[in-house]
Chains A and B, each alone.
Chain A
Amino acid sequence: MSREPSRSPRIMHIGMGLVCTSKIKDMTKAGFHFIVFLADWHSWINNKLGGDMEKIHTCGEYIKQCFTALGVTPVSVEYLWASDIAKDIEYWEKVIRIAKGASLQRTWRALPIMGREMSMTDVETAWVYYPCMQSADIFHMDLDVACAGIDQRKAHMLARDVAEKLGWKKPSCVHTHLLMGLQGPETVEKEFDENADLNIQISSKMSKSIPKSCIFVHDTPDDIKTKIKEAYCPPKQVKGNPILELSKYVVFAERENLEIPRPTKYGGPENFENYEKMERAYVEGKIHPLDLKNGVTEALIEILKPVREHFHRHPQLLEKMMEIEVTR
């Protein structure tokens, strides 16, 4: 048996790895043909991984392997690269039509998708293509529904407006919750959206730039234990509680129940069949934060087991990603 890697790449946290894959699995179960779109060109525009296309492709393959291990397999979904559709001249015609149909101000407003504060001087012109390409992707793949985290809603609203203007099929949208970082809610310093609650959600989201706020899909059981142990988890409180969020959006999204290992003198372990019941028990003080943390820790370790096992058997891509991370 080969040794587990001593360091794991901090590429994919469970906000991406589990919230997305759970929703994708819901969609395929509901009968959708689902495309996991690996946006290599967009990553290049956004200067991800130094704008190095080879590294970007390695990362895309890594995402595909992580997702496959988590049950989003090439049999259940279609994996498609942006560079596959970018070969088609008709795709670029759509990009231009969209750019002609939307004001620069409108396109600009759809830009915070790239998660940065903007000032004219440090924005490359290429970035203006980004929202136009995001819309063109939707039309070119002939989609009925666009899924993304709620922070992408402006880009999708642009696509809907453009669709109306150009007489194209208007995409419906499914916007998912952004998992809060383990440190709890943050005060809003940057404005991402006009909506105050959404601003807090975007400011507080799990971010790989703050490793302690994140659980990564590769984290070892010990890492998971330590991070959750140190996480913010106010007793009897739902709002702003990252551990309750994990139980709702990750554990109950993936499993039928959650076992809370409570000491016998406080009633012994209890098995909850749905989130609502468990939340009620927590608010009533029947579950101590420590017991909630222990239950969520064990469930997460189990849920992420297939990723650890996959890369244990096939470490090549993981090793490549770790090299990229070192040189980044």
Chain B
Amino acid sequence: MDLEQRIDLVTRNVEEIIIPQEIRTLLETKTKPRAYWGFECSGQ
């Protein structure tokens, strides 16, 4: 998968990216970057 496709996947359907250029640089330089989503155990 090329860089643009990866960026599209990360950014599609989102309200906001902080900061788009950081995501681009990250995906250019790191093969397995680390991300998370935290969930309270009660639903939302």
| Residues on the B chain within 8 Å of A22, using CB | 13
Interface residues contributed by chain B, number (CB under 8 Å): 34
| Residues on the B chain within 8 Å of A144, using CB | 26, 30, 33-35
Q: A29-B1, A49-B42 are in contact. Are A141 and B36 (CB under 8 A)?
A: yes
CA of A177 to CA of B16 in the docked complex: distance in angstroms? 9
Contact A142 B34 (CB under 8 A): yes
- Count of chain A to chain B residue pairs whose CB atoms are closer than 8 Å in the complex: 165
Task: Identify the closest chain B residue to A15 (Cβ).
Answer: B44
Contact B16 A153 (CB under 8 A): yes
Interface centre among B27, B32, B38 (most CB of A within 10 A): B38
Whether A156 is near chain B, meaning CB under 8 Å from some CB there, is yes
Whether A57 is near chain B, meaning CB under 8 Å from some CB there, is yes
Q: C-beta contact mask, A1-31 vs B, less than 8 Å → 1, else 0?
A: 0000000001111011000101110110111
CA of A160 to CA of B12 in the docked complex: distance in angstroms? 23
Among listed A34-42, A181-189, A226-234, A284-292, interface-contacting one: A34-42
| Residues on the B chain within 8 Å of A156, using CB | 18
Contact B44 A13 (CB under 8 A): yes
CB distance from A206 to the nearest CB of B (A): 9
Q: C-beta contact mask, A116-142 vs B, less than 8 Å → 1, else 0?
A: 000000000000000000100110011
Interface residues contributed by chain A, number (CB under 8 Å): 64
Whether A173 is near chain B, meaning CB under 8 Å from some CB there, is yes
Contact B34 A32 (CB under 8 A): yes
CA of A147 to CA of B37 in the docked complex: distance in angstroms? 5
Contact B43 A38 (CB under 8 A): no
CA of A36 to CA of B35 in the docked complex: distance in angstroms? 9
CA of A89 to CA of B11 in the docked complex: distance in angstroms? 35
| Residues on the A chain within 8 Å of B26, using CB | 144-145, 172
CB distance from A205 to the nearest CB of B (A): 9
CA of A106 to CA of B32 in the docked complex: distance in angstroms? 33
Contact A176 B10 (CB under 8 A): no
CB distance from B28 to the nearest CB of A (A): 11
Contact B36 A59 (CB under 8 A): no
Contact A160 B18 (CB under 8 A): yes
CA of A123 to CA of B37 in the docked complex: distance in angstroms? 25
CB distance from B22 to the nearest CB of A (A): 4
Interface centre among B13, B15, B36 (most CB of A within 10 A): B36
Whether A143 is near chain B, meaning CB under 8 Å from some CB there, is yes
Task: Identify the closest chain B residue to A324 (Cβ).
Answer: B42
CA of A134 to CA of B33 in the docked complex: distance in angstroms? 19
Contact A11 B42 (CB under 8 A): yes
Interface centre among A29, A173, A208, A248 (most CB of B within 10 A): A173
Whether A249 is near chain B, meaning CB under 8 Å from some CB there, is yes
Interface centre among B18, B26, B42 (most CB of A within 10 A): B42
CA of A153 to CA of B15 in the docked complex: distance in angstroms? 11
The 5 A-B pairs of least Cβ separation, nearest first, read A48-B42, A145-B35, A35-B36, A59-B41, A37-B38
Instruction: Contacts A16-B43, A27-B9, A177-B14 known; list 12 others, CB within 8 Å.
Output: A23-B37, A30-B5, A32-B35, A37-B37, A46-B40, A46-B42, A56-B41, A145-B10, A145-B33, A173-B17, A253-B12, A253-B13
